[in-house]
Amino acid sequence: MRTTLFGFVSILLLLCGCGSGSDKSQAGKKVPVVVTSMIVKSQNVPVSFEYVAQTQSSHMVNIQSRVNGFLEKRVYTEGEVVKAGQVLFLMDMKPYQTQVDASKAALAKQEAALENARLNLARVKPLAKLNALSQKDLDDANGSFQTSSAAVDQAKAQLETALLNLSYCTITAPFEGITSASLLQEGSYLNTVDSQLTTVSALSPIWVNFSLSENQVQNYREQVVKGYLLAPIDDQFEVKVIQLNGKIFPYTGKITFTEPYFNPQTGTFLIRASVDNPKGVLRPNQYVRARVEGAIRPNVILVPQRTVQQSAKGPYVWIINKENLAELRPITLGDWQGQGWLITDGLTSGDRVVVDGTVGLHSGDAVEVKAVLDNQEESKGL
């Protein structure tokens, strides 16, 4: 009886022991980490550069009086957009109208004298041929006619000057643009030296000015020389304007001027882009951001931002080796491009990079790839 009971207990303990060992064996096996990966490929990646910029009118003119006199009336509404030839101010015309009338009268007098001299010359010529009058009489008649002709020309010029001065009493906009406030009020005396009335500034095209430091210019040139950066043909960069609200202005521009001299006061070179602004949305002296596009990074690797991790030793990514095990790979970061990073060192074309599922991942962990993202599609979204 005791033997039977002992044997039963021994078998039970043996079975329990076997079961416990099996559980420990199962617990020792790690479940593969489920991740999303991407096979990276070298590609030509368009790059852009952003700079703080300020708008400037491409054509700004100070409106001043061209004759002396009293300001009679301001016609335009301050701050509005005016058309070319639109009347802005009216000056007192009466003094200049009087000059016009006097010049017309003087011209009529000289024309009458010319007609008299012409008739006299016509009478003297045939008589001189018959020797009825002397050569001196003919010379005097001819000289009188030429003098009267010159006096008529002078009177015409004086009338033209008077008419021109009268026209200057009506001050118009030289081109389409936006006006500033009137600097002088009605009744003010204007002179041609210092009587600025307002300004008219063209809105389209509008200039977008930004600056590059000496280091930025040198760095750009070195990258082009080394082949790290390809400039567009004939350096025809495209400039996009980013407004204060973050929206991209619908019209793009081209760089039209690069300051050839280094400005020692600011430590920069001035760059100017010309942008169409037909609706006048952009106004002079606004602060915007200029995005310069057109350059290309040849044969580089671009990865989504979320793949890059940081440690005390620097940036790294997780890759999947041939044994489907996680491996930490230190990398060297290039420029920030959209929502991704350009990788300049550490990855080669064909590497499998873990995009999602890196939380809790350790070197040597077995991984199970849930999905493989397309490198080209991901790049388009960056």
The model's pLDDT over 103-151, given as tens digits with 9 standing for 90+, comes to 999 999 999 999 999 999 899 889 888 888 888 888 889 999 999 999 9
The predicted structure's pLDDT at residue 377 = 53
Is there a contact between 269 and 258 (Cβ–Cβ < 8 Å)?
yes
To the nearest whole number, what is the mean pLDDT of the chain?
88
Name residue 22's beta-bridge partners.
none
Name residue 71's beta-bridge partners.
91
The predicted structure's pLDDT at residue 342 = 87
Q: Which residues of 297-314 are buried (b: 16+ CB within 10 A; e: fewer)?
A: beebbbbbeebbeeeeee
CATH 2.40.50.100 domain span(s) along the chain: 66-92+169-201
Which CATH homologous superfamily contains domain 93-168?
A: Helix hairpin bin (1.10.287.470)
The percent of residues above 90 in pLDDT, for the chain, comes to 62
pLDDT digits (tens, 9 = 90+) for 85-96: 999 999 999 999
CATH 1.10.287.470 domain span(s) along the chain: 93-168
Using the 8-state DSSP alphabet, how is residue 231 labeled?
A: P
Least confident of 19-28, 152-161, 370-379: 19-28
Is there a contact between 236 and 294 (Cβ–Cβ < 8 Å)?
yes
Asked whether the predicted pLDDT for residue 366 surpasses 70, the reply is yes
Is there a contact between 47 and 337 (Cβ–Cβ < 8 Å)?
yes
**What is the mean predicted confidence (pLDDT) over 356-375?**
84
pLDDT digits (tens, 9 = 90+) for 304-317: 988 999 989 999 99
- Give me the CATH topology for the region 31-45+299-381: 2.40.420
Least confident of 24-28, 125-129, 183-187, 341-345: 24-28
Q: Cα Rg for the chain, rounded, in angstroms?
A: 44
pLDDT digits (tens, 9 = 90+) for 237-260: 999 999 999 999 999 999 999 998
At the top level of CATH, which class does the domain 66-92+169-201 belong to? mainly beta
Phi, psi of 267 (to 5 degrees): 70, 30
Asked if the 48-58+203-296 domain carries CATH number 2.40.30.170, the reply is yes
Residue with tokens 């300049």: 344
Direct distance between the N- and C-terminal alpha carbons of the chain, in angstroms, rounded to an integer: 80
Length of the chain: 382
The percent of residues above 70 in pLDDT, for the chain, comes to 90
CATH 2.40.30.170 domain span(s) along the chain: 48-58+203-296
Nearest CA to 379 out of 39, 5, 78, 99 is that of 39
